[in-house]
A and B are shown apart, each in its own frame.
Chain A
Amino acid sequence: MTETFLGMPATAPAGVGNLRGDEPFPVAARRALADAQLRRNLRHATGTIRAKSAAVIGEVPDWPELRAAGRAIKSDTMARLPELLEQLEAAVTAAGGTVHWATDAVEANRIVTDLVRATGADRVMKVKSMATQEIGLNEALEAAGIEPVETDLAELIVQLGRDRPSHILVPAIHRNRAEIREVFLREMPGVDPALTDEPAALAAAARRHLRATFLSTKVAVSGANFAVAETGTLAVVESEGNGRMCLTLPETLITVMGIEKVIPTWDDLGVFLQLLPRASTGERMNPYTSMWTGVTPGDGPQQVHLVLLDNGRSAVLADEVGRQALHCIRCSACLNVCPVYERTGGHAYGSVYPGPIGAVLSPQLTGVEENASLPYASSLCGACFDACPVMIDIPSVLVHLRARHVAEQRAARRTPSAEAVAMAAAAYTMDHPRLYAAAQRAAGLGRIAGRALPPPLNGWTASRDVPAAPPQTFRQWWSERSRS
C-alpha cells in the first residue's frame, strides 16, 4: 500500500466491531414489529423521557442560543480537527498521560489489549462507552483471555442477559422491570431469591454484585463525553457512580475516544454540560460528572492512557453534508422522539448506533453500500432535527445519503431500485428550496386527495406514505412496504 493511499479518508473495516447488522433494516424491523411487549416497553420509556426532557428544557431561558452555540463549536472543531487533536495530545502528555492513535477498530483493540496485558491483569472494569462497543472491544479482550466487566446498570443487564444494547443512553430500554428481575435471578451469583422487581431493589442488587469487582480490579476502560484540547481534560458524564469507581479506584485507566469528541476550550464545556443532561436523561444535571487531566499524584489512577480512534470518522469528515453527524454528543434525544425507533427498537438498526443518528452515522462510517437500508429507515418527519441539542439536520443527511447510495449503485453499473431513483429525485428537489416548497404544498393536498406526490416525488410515495403524522404514516408505510 502506498503512503498516499494510507493517508486518504477511510471507512471502518468489516469483520470487527458492531457497526453492521446481519440483515437489512426492513427484515430486522419486521420481526421487531411483531413483538408487542417490546413496543409497549419502548413507548413507555420514550414517553417518560420526552416529558421529563421537555420540562427541564423549558426552564432554560437561552436554550435556542445554547443549541446554536453547540452547533457552532462543533463546526469549528471539525474545521480544525487535526490541529485540535495535536493540541489535545500535547496537553494530555504534559499532564502525565499517554496518548495512542488508532486508525481503526483492529488497531484500537490491539492497543487496549496490549496495555491491559502489560499490567498483568486478567480482568478490566468498564464504564459504558459507545466507542468500545463500536470496535467490539469486549470480544477482543475475551479472545485474549481478559474478562471485561460492564459496570453500568443497563450494560450489566445486557451483559448478564447475553443480549445486545438497543439504545445509546439506556441500552436495556427494551427490557421492563419484570424482565430485568428475571435476568438477575438467573445470572447474578448469590442474588437474593426474594428479589422484587422494584427498581430500587434491582439497583441495590447491582450495587452488591459489583462492589467486590470495583475494589479488586486494577484496570478500567472508559469512553469520554468530551476532551478539552486546550487543557487536556477528559470528562465522563454518568448517573450511578460506577463511572466514578472506574475512574478513581484502579491503578490504570484506559480511555477510548472517537476523535470527534474533542472540543476546543474549557469554556466550551459550559455549553455542552447544559445541553447534554437536559436533552439526554431529562435532568437539570446528571448525578455525576467526572473530569480529569492526565495524572494527579496521590489521587486516582497513576497510569492514564488515551486512545484516539478514527475507524471511519475521516470518511465521514470528507462528506461536506454528512460530516455534521460527527457533531453528535450521543444524548439520544433523536431516538426518543423518532416514530420509527419507537416501533422497531434499536436492534433492527444492526449497529451500536441506532435511531435517527445511527441511520446517518453508521452508513457513513462503514460506507453507504454496507448499510444501504439505513438511510431509508426514516419517515423524514423531522422530529429528530427539532430535538437535537446541537441542531444536526438529520433529515437532510438522510436524503443526501440516499442520493449517494443511488450514485454509488449507478457507478457500480447496477440498476438502482425504483425506490432509490425516487429518492435521488427527492434529494435533488430538497436541495432546491423552491421546488421543495411546491412539492410540499402539493403533498399536503395529495394527502387529502389520496396520498400521492407529484413528480418527481411520486416514485417515492408509490411505496409509502408522505412524511407527516408519524404514528399512522409509519405503520401504513410499513404495511405497504411489506406487501410489496
Chain B
Amino acid sequence: MTARDVVLARLRAALAGAPPAPVHHRPGHRRQGELPPGHPELVDLLAERLTDYRAQVHRATEATVADTVAGILAAEGAAAVVVPPGLPAGWRPGGVELVVDDDLPADRLAELDGVVTAAAVAVAETGTIVLDAAADQGRRLISLLPDRHVCVVRAEQVVATVPEALARLTPDRPLTWISGPSATSDIELNRVEGVHGPRRLHVVVTDG
C-alpha cells in the first residue's frame, strides 16, 4: 500500500464508521454589492479603504495617467522604475528611467526605485487591488522587489465585494491580492507598515 492508499483508506474508514449527514444546500450569502462596478461611490469607497491602510490614492483621466505617475515618482525622488512589457504606452511616465521587464534578474529588480503596473480588478469594500500577471501587470516578481508600487486601476475594474472579484478572476493565472503596503501586526498586535514588500503603495484610479 502506498502512503496515498493508506491515507485515503483511513479517511474512508473514518467516514464509514460515523457517516456524516450530507450537506444538500449551502446557506446563501451576499455576493454582490448594492452598487454596480465602476460606480463613483464605489470608487470613493475604494479610495477611502486604501487610504485607511496607508496606501496613497490619486485620481486621473486616461489622458493624464502618465503625468500623474510621473508626478508621484518625481515627488519621491524615484529615478529608475521597471514596467511590464504590456503597460499601455499612454501610461508610461516621463522624467524617469523606464526599464521594461525582460526577465530581469532579481538583484537588478531589487535595486530599482519602483514599479508601475495595471491591475486586474479592485475590491472597494476591502480596499484591495488584485494583480493577475497579465501583460500590463507582468511577472509577480516585478511588483514585489522594488520598494515602491504605483498601480493604475480603471474605474470599471472596481467592484464592491470579494465574491464579485473572484468571479472576474481565473485560477490559471497566479494572483496577488494587495490591500495596502506591506505591513505586520507581529509586534504587540499593532499594525506597522513596511516589512518585505513595497513599503509605498500608490493607486491611481482613472475614470475613463
- A interface residues with partner B (beta carbon < 8 Å): 3, 6-10, 41, 44-46, 48-49, 59, 61-62, 65-66, 68-69, 72-73, 75-76, 78-79, 81-82, 85-86, 95, 100-103, 107, 151-154, 157, 170, 172-173, 176-177, 180, 199-200, 202-204, 206-207, 210-211, 214-215, 228, 231-233, 239-242, 244-245, 247-249, 259, 266-267, 269-271, 273-274, 277, 281, 283-293, 296, 298-300, 308, 310, 314-315, 317-320, 323
Is the CB–CB distance between B27 and A65 below 8 Å? yes
Q: Which residue of B lies closest to A241 (CB)?
A: B197
Binds A, one of B35-43, B66-74, B86-94, B138-146: B138-146
Known: A79-B20, A154-B186. A299 touches B140 (CB 8 A): yes
Known: A95-B172, A266-B166. A210 touches B196 (CB 8 A): yes
Answer whether residue B178 sits at the interface, using C-beta atoms and an 8 A cutoff.
Answer: yes
Complex Cα distance, B4 from A107, in Å, reads: 12
Within 8 Å CB of A65, what residues of B? Answer: 27-30
Known: A7-B6, A10-B10, A154-B186. A240 touches B197 (CB 8 A): yes
Is the CB–CB distance between B133 and A299 below 8 Å? yes
How near does chain B come to A308, taking the closest CB pair, in angstroms? 7
Within 8 Å CB of A299, what residues of B? Answer: 133, 139-141, 174
How near does chain B come to A451, taking the closest CB pair, in angstroms? 34
Within 8 Å CB of A210, what residues of B? Answer: 196
Answer whether residue B157 sits at the interface, using C-beta atoms and an 8 A cutoff.
Answer: no
Known: A283-B179, A291-B174. A103 touches B6 (CB 8 A): yes
Within 8 Å CB of A240, what residues of B? Answer: 182-184, 186, 195-197
* From B3, B22, B186, B196, residue with most partner A Cβ within 10 Å: B186
How near does chain B come to A86, taking the closest CB pair, in angstroms? 7
Answer whether residue B176 sits at the interface, using C-beta atoms and an 8 A cutoff.
Answer: yes
Within 8 Å CB of B4, what residues of A? Answer: 101
Complex Cα distance, B187 from A202, in Å, reads: 9
Answer whether residue B78 sits at the interface, using C-beta atoms and an 8 A cutoff.
Answer: no
In B1-50, the 8 Å CB interface with A consists of 1-15, 17-18, 20-23, 26-31, 49
How near does chain A come to B156, taking the closest CB pair, in angstroms? 21
Known: A103-B7, A273-B162. A285 touches B177 (CB 8 A): yes
Answer whether residue B194 sits at the interface, using C-beta atoms and an 8 A cutoff.
Answer: yes
Quick one: which of B27, B162, B193 contacts A274, CB cutoff 8 A?
B162
Quick one: which of A207, A269, A271, A317 contacts B196, CB cutoff 8 A?
A207
Is the CB–CB distance between A9 and B8 below 8 Å? no
Complex Cα distance, B178 from A44, in Å, reads: 28
Complex Cα distance, B144 from A54, in Å, reads: 31
How near does chain B come to A76, taking the closest CB pair, in angstroms? 4
Is the CB–CB distance between A153 and B123 below 8 Å? no
Q: Which residue of B lies closest to A181 (CB)?
A: B187
Is the CB–CB distance between A206 and B195 below 8 Å? yes
Is the CB–CB distance between B197 and A288 below 8 Å? yes
Known: A76-B26, A287-B179. A199 touches B190 (CB 8 A): yes
Is the CB–CB distance between B185 and A270 below 8 Å? no
Within 8 Å CB of B11, what residues of A? Answer: 9, 81-82, 85, 259, 310, 314, 317
Known: A82-B12, A287-B181, A288-B182. A300 touches B187 (CB 8 A): no
User: Inter-chain contact count A-B, CB under 8 Å?
Assistant: 274
Is the CB–CB distance between A298 and B103 below 8 Å? yes
Report 26 cross-chain contacts, Cβ distance below 8 Å, ordered by A residue. A8-B10, A72-B23, A79-B22, A82-B12, A203-B194, A206-B196, A211-B110, A239-B182, A239-B185, A240-B184, A240-B196, A245-B144, A248-B141, A249-B141, A266-B166, A266-B171, A270-B162, A274-B162, A284-B49, A284-B179, A288-B177, A288-B179, A296-B173, A299-B133, A299-B139, A310-B7
Q: Which residue of B lies closest to A77 (CB)?
A: B23
Complex Cα distance, B30 from A85, in Å, reads: 28
Is the CB–CB distance between A318 and B18 below 8 Å? yes
Is the CB–CB distance between A69 and B26 below 8 Å? yes
Is the CB–CB distance between B186 and A157 below 8 Å? yes
Complex Cα distance, B16 from A205, in Å, reads: 53
Within 8 Å CB of A69, what residues of B? Answer: 26-29
Is the CB–CB distance between B196 and A292 below 8 Å? no
Is the CB–CB distance between B177 and A61 below 8 Å? no
Is the CB–CB distance between A317 and B14 below 8 Å? yes
Within 8 Å CB of A202, what residues of B? Answer: 187
Within 8 Å CB of B15, what residues of A? Answer: 79, 81-82, 317
How near does chain A come to B42, taking the closest CB pair, in angstroms? 15
Quick one: which of B139, B163, B166, B179 contacts A285, CB cutoff 8 A?
B179
Complex Cα distance, B103 from A238, in Å, reads: 26
Is the CB–CB distance between A245 and B196 below 8 Å? yes
Within 8 Å CB of B125, what residues of A? Answer: 59, 284
Answer whether residue B63 sits at the interface, using C-beta atoms and an 8 A cutoff.
Answer: no
Answer whether residue B189 sits at the interface, using C-beta atoms and an 8 A cutoff.
Answer: yes
